[in-house]
Structures are given as C-alpha cells and as structure tokens.
Structure 1
C-alpha cells in the first residue's frame, strides 16, 4: 500500500502521518469564545484530559499550535511501557515509601486507560499486547530481576524473566543475554490513537482548534488564553504543551529540556521475514541508557528507533544514526529499503519524573514524562481532569514531588546532560 504525507500537511514526514486514519484539518480559532476548561496542547496529555472532562460533562476547548498529535504523541515508538522513567525503588529512596506506594498504585493505569478507550470508542490504532525488555549483560539481567520483584510488590503480575535460550521466542537475534516480558505492555499506532481519542472527545462536545498557537495567558479568577486571531475565557486552564511549549511559559520551560529521538521504518517486509524477526509480535526495548526500541507494524514494516539529541537537536542524517544499530540486531536486513525516517522531541526533567503543578488556582500544568510518555500522559491527563473536577488528591501527590530546574540554565543544561549521558553510555559499553 502506497502512503503519502503530502495529503496530511503540518505533520513531520513520518510513516505515522502518512498512514493516519483521520487526516481532517480542524479550523483555527477565530474570535472570542468561552468554555469551562481551555487546554493548551492536543497531544496525549491534553487530549486525555479533554476526554476525561467531556465524559464528566464539562465544556472543553483545546488549542493546538500545529496539528493533533504533532509532537511526541504522534512520532514516538508506539510502545505501551508501564511505569515511569525511574523505577519504584528509586522513587521510594528519593521521596519516601509512602509516595512510592501511591505512585505504584497508579503505575499500570496508563496502559489500562489506553486499552479501555480503544475498546469503548472503537479506536483503530493497531493495538497489540506484549512487550519484551532485552538485556545485553548479566548485570542488566540482575537489574531486571530486582525491578520485577519490586513491581510485584505493587501488584504487577504480568512480568516473566526470559533466559537466553528462550529469547528467540520474542526476537531472533544473538545480541541479548536474556530479558523480561511484560504481558501488560504492548504497542499501538500512536498518531491514530490520539486522533481517535480526539474524535471521541469531539463526539462529546469538545472543540479542538488546530493552527492556533497560544500567544498569551492572562491569569486571574477567569483566565483568558489568547491566540493570534482569538481568545478563550475559561474557568480553568490546563497547560499540556510539553517539549513544544516554549517560549510561552518560561517558569515551566526552565524545568524541562527538549530531547529528540530518531525513528525510521523499513519498506513492507515479506510476512515470513518480519515474523521470523519478531515471532510473538511483541515490541522490544533494550536495557541500555541510550536504548534502541523496535516493533512490527500492521503492514509488516520494522519500525526501529533510538539515538538521542539533548536540547532537541537532530543529527543531519537520521537514517545514518539508526540503521547501523538495526543491522547490529538484524544483519539480514542489509539490503532492505528505508521508507521513512523522522525525529521528535520529548520533555526531560532533571529528576526524570513528570512535573505537575499549579501556576495559579485556575491554571494547572503537566509535562516532563521523560521518555515514558505513552502511558504516563494518559494517566496524568486523566488526573488533570480529576483535579479541575474537584478531586485533586492524586494531582496533589504528583505536585508535591520536588522538581528543580536544570543546572546551568539554558546555556549549560545541554553540555552537562550530555556529559552525564556519556558516562552512563560508557558504563553500558563496559558492562559495569
């Protein structure tokens, strides 16, 4: 099947944009309007919050600078990875056992929200169950065993260790020493998921305006959100711009750094070839600090991602960065054509824990899912909806977690983070 991105303008040149089910362009905001809640950003966080609030009967306006799912929500690897970017043992060590127990109780909910909404609204997003975490070393295997034991204390019963002899059930490569499967993980077409959720919210009365970059936010008892051609007066405002928010609110942006990750897809492969590479159709993520992630697509492509660009900077040759790693994993693909290669930014916090809070009594925000956004954004979007509906208990748990700005400010945050990443990458290469 031939795909084009020219008929889906405003998105990056990705396989997701080319194969999107819904390519409608929503109008830009013009004139003044009012709503109970105005949401800035139509990615997973904003759309998840919008759907939660519409289900509760609120009137909602969503303002998107570009297109629904334009940012990381429509460009990521499409993997349903449970939990957070830091494990629950680390969270307990930093913030106390009580906080870890409370966050642990929520840690599987993001995936549950996705599966529930796909079923409830009939969202066609290629949902497939099952994820595999691949280990290169015995050290990484021991870390996975500890991670599994800690997860099970919080009620996660879907994990199973995989010895080296059984890795081939999930991925046919000689690179790995073993791994762990998560039966509650899985993968999706992320752009079709967020588009389907947006359509579900619209069916409940939500109004979504694309091409409507926010130019100003007047805080007060009745906040006003301004764009170039219009404004929204609302009882509450939810700021959900994540890595693409700058420069609107520097008080938020200083607490996160945009980080790019690169993704590519092969041409469609023969069914017997793609099935030989990934027999169980699980998505795969390795255990290195700068990791590779990959999976099958519904039309038998291999989607392969990796690499990292602190500050949101991309390499000149995206395919040149990713393809060598793909061939280390699957050398039999050396003659396969690459059809699409793209990048996208996610928001990284200094703690690698999402950052939620209030800018005023009426303005709430959430950002910084730090590479675990597919599930976490769905959870935190729902929690934002709960909070403005008068049930802020879970929001307040997240808002109580300290989140400091990056050291060195905008000038030095990138080189300092690169230095840290170099050190952890060296540890991966040395197996220490």
Structure 2
C-alpha cells in the first residue's frame, strides 16, 4: 500500500488552499528554495506560528536563522485555523493540577496568559490587518455541563485571580449568540479572534526584516545529529548549531520520536457569503464561540461579516469530497437562520494532537528540539513556543523545560496503530456528543 504524503495528499505543492483566508489577504512574494551549503546558528523546520515566532525572536537577538518551509509560510494549520486566541492551556487548570501539581499548574497558567498577551501585541505590531477582536465564548450544549462550567469560572476568578472571564446563563448567552443550541457557559474578554493567515504572514515579514532567511518549497529529508547538526533538503545542506522541529500536524513520520506522540487529524471550515445585518443579529458582540462537544463546533465573524464555521470530523488523511456539506451541516443546525446562506469557501487543514491534549515540547538531542502537538489551541501557545525556544538557545531553558516536563504519552502502538485507534475513539466521542 502506498503511504499517503500528508504534505501533498490534500494540497497542491507550493499553493495555499482555496480558503477565505488566502482569498482575503495578499500573499508574500515567493521565497526561493534553499540551495547549496548554508551555515546558520539555528535551522528551523516549519514556517508556521512556532517557527516564525522563533525566527523572529532569535533574529532580533542577532542569531543567523534559516527557516525551511516545505510549502509556503503559513501554509499549514497556522494559516487555516479558526483564529481563536484562547486563554489557558488546552487542558483546564483542575486537570493540570492533578497532572503536574498546583505549583506547576500555576506556572503553566502564567505561561498561557503571557502567550495571549504576546499574540495580541504581535498582531497589533506586525499584522494589524489580522483584525484582532476581543471575546471568546464557551457554550455548553447540554444542561448538565453548565454547573461545571460555572464552577470552573469561579475557580479561575478565585484561585487564579483571573477576572476577565465570567459566567453566562442561557439568556445571557443567547444575547451574544442567537442560537437555541446552548444552555449557558462563559465569556472571556481577554481572549479573542483574528485572521490567522494575515497574522502568520505578518510574523514572516517581521522575521525576514529582522534578518532571518526564509526558504519556501524546501522540504527537509533528514536531520543528522551532531554538533553542529546537519539538515538536508533535496537541494541544500544546512549546518546549524541548533535545530528546531516546528511542523505540528504536517510532520508525518519525518521524526519518529515525535510521530509516536503527535497524531495528525483533519478539521474543516466554511465561510458564508457576507451576511450584512444578519451577522450582527447572530453574533451581536462579534465574539468567537467554541462549544462543549468533543468534536467541537467553533465559529466567529470575519471582518467583512461572513460566518466562519468550523466543525465536522474526519477519520481519513484525505479530505472529504464535499467539505461545504461536512462543515455546513453543523453550522445550519446551530444557526437555522443560515439555511439559505451561500457558502463561498470551504477548506480543510491538518493539526497535531496528543494523547493528553497538551503540547509536546521535547529535547530530541542536546541541540535539537521540537515544539508541536497543540491539539487545536495553537495560535497563542505556538507563538509563545517560539519565544521559549529562543530563550533556551540563549541558555535560559527553564520555561521550555516547564512545558517539556508535562508528560506526553506515546500513542498505543506508536505511529503505526495510532490512526485506527483514533477512529474508534472519535466514533465513540461523536456518539457521546449526540446523546
């Protein structure tokens, strides 16, 4: 059986997907592939949020930085996601307290808050066209979940001194989100949403302006460990003192030690036609929403008042033939008001998830690192990851190690068996969502 190439199975080489994001922001001029022998202080594999943030931080510190991107910068999940900038880690703080203890859980919370602040400041400075808007709503799709959601808000208010989040009863939530599908939840006004591809391109431009060298269409074939390490593409050989894997769901099996712990899955988004006044009726505060389903629905308005709705699950590496139907169905279930709305764009993307839904940071060798597995909450945390790697390269490893010390389990059977096990799990959870 021919193994599917995750970089090209659903996409054309060197082209952004036909998404609303790609259609609504000008791309940077193509950057030349890497060629010949290249010397660098740091070689970064992957041109998404993690790699671009790391490149920016390290170039600003005066290091010689080379970024190798197999497709285009911002091509992967960084340029296709729901655009939500969420506070906190992917797991709630009560789960983290049990996982790593209260002291480390608090430190992880502080890092996550810094990640949001960093993302907002970078968006304002480097990508004002990304249009950051405040507010993310958590919406409970079952009555029985509301008490737990409200208790968690009180925990954040009390134990963590976080007062940007408050509870919503059903009527209050209905005032922010004109759907009868939800029974309560919370709203976090320190969180928000933005145009992710515009943000990624802003980071790329800033990194390049700071002196980083970015190469597109430069797929890494192998990394030879050593001091220095050697990173090889089909046409180039980069010798570097430090190497960062920043590939998330698009790593495939290129680095088996990471592939055993990070699994690629697909998700899908549709963008409607501009909705005009109806948009303000549906989401009057222009806040983003993510619901309580395991197979999550997430949605927000674009700057030109389209509904951007993400949902639907996929158990294959291949995208479905009709993405508009896949993600359009839950959209119309949540918003019957959109029954006749035209869908102008529909696209899919691949993200990396871990067993415990926490990012996977690792030292693979003394001078080779990996930051990946953001499990659907990577806009802010991936931006911070680049800063943490830059700190480590500068000799301050404590904050990177704090993330790396969060236990990340290997998928049972490793990379070979992770997909059939995921299919079984997703089928069970999608059934649970319907009960």
| TM-score (ref. length: structure 2) | 0.93
Q: Which residue is 1:77 aligned to?
A: 82
For 1:114-153, what aligned pairs fall within 5 Å after superposition?
A: 114-121=119-126, 123-152=128-157, 153=159
For 1:16-415, what aligned pairs fall within 5 Å after superposition?
A: 16-121=21-126, 123-152=128-157, 153-269=159-275, 271-310=276-315, 312-415=317-420
> Displacement, 1:95?
2.0
* Alpha-carbon separation, structure 1, partners of 2:316 and 2:386: 25
Q: Quick check: 1:123–1:197 contact (8 Å CA) kept in 2? A: no
> Displacement, 1:420?
2.6
Q: Quick check: 1:81–1:185 contact (8 Å CA) kept in 2? A: yes
Q: Cα RMSD (Å) of the superposition?
A: 1.6
Q: Quick check: 1:83–1:372 contact (8 Å CA) kept in 2? A: no
Q: Quick check: 2:261–2:354 contact (8 Å CA) kept in 1? A: yes
Q: Quick check: 1:261–1:308 contact (8 Å CA) kept in 2? A: yes
Q: Quick check: 1:348–1:370 contact (8 Å CA) kept in 2? A: yes
Distance verdict in 2 for CA 1:312–1:84, change over 3 Å: farther
Which string of whole-angstrom CA distances, capped at 9 and with x for unpartnered residues, describes residues 270-325 of structure 1? x2111111110001111111111111101111111112224634333211111121
Distance verdict in 2 for CA 1:410–1:396, change over 3 Å: closer
Q: Which residue is 1:3 aligned to?
A: none
Q: Determine helix, strand or coil for the equivalent of 2:128.
A: coil
Q: Quick check: 1:348–1:371 contact (8 Å CA) kept in 2? A: yes
* Alpha-carbon separation, structure 2, partners of 1:160 and 1:196: 32
Q: Determine helix, strand or coil for the equivalent of 2:278.
A: helix
Q: Determine helix, strand or coil for the equivalent of 1:309.
A: coil
* Alpha-carbon separation, structure 2, partners of 1:142 and 1:159: 15
* Alpha-carbon separation, structure 2, partners of 1:299 and 1:122: 17
Which string of whole-angstrom CA distances, capped at 9 and with x for unpartnered residues, describes residues 332-365 of structure 1? 2212111111110110111211111111111111
Q: Which residue is 1:5 aligned to?
A: none
> Displacement, 1:147?
2.2
> Displacement, 1:214?
0.6
Distance verdict in 2 for CA 1:81–1:321, change over 3 Å: same
* Alpha-carbon separation, structure 2, partners of 1:363 and 1:410: 21
> Displacement, 1:224?
1.3
Distance verdict in 2 for CA 1:155–1:228, change over 3 Å: farther
* Alpha-carbon separation, structure 2, partners of 1:416 and 1:228: 34
> Displacement, 1:146?
2.6
| TM-score (ref. length: structure 1) | 0.94
Q: Quick check: 2:127–2:203 contact (8 Å CA) kept in 1? A: no
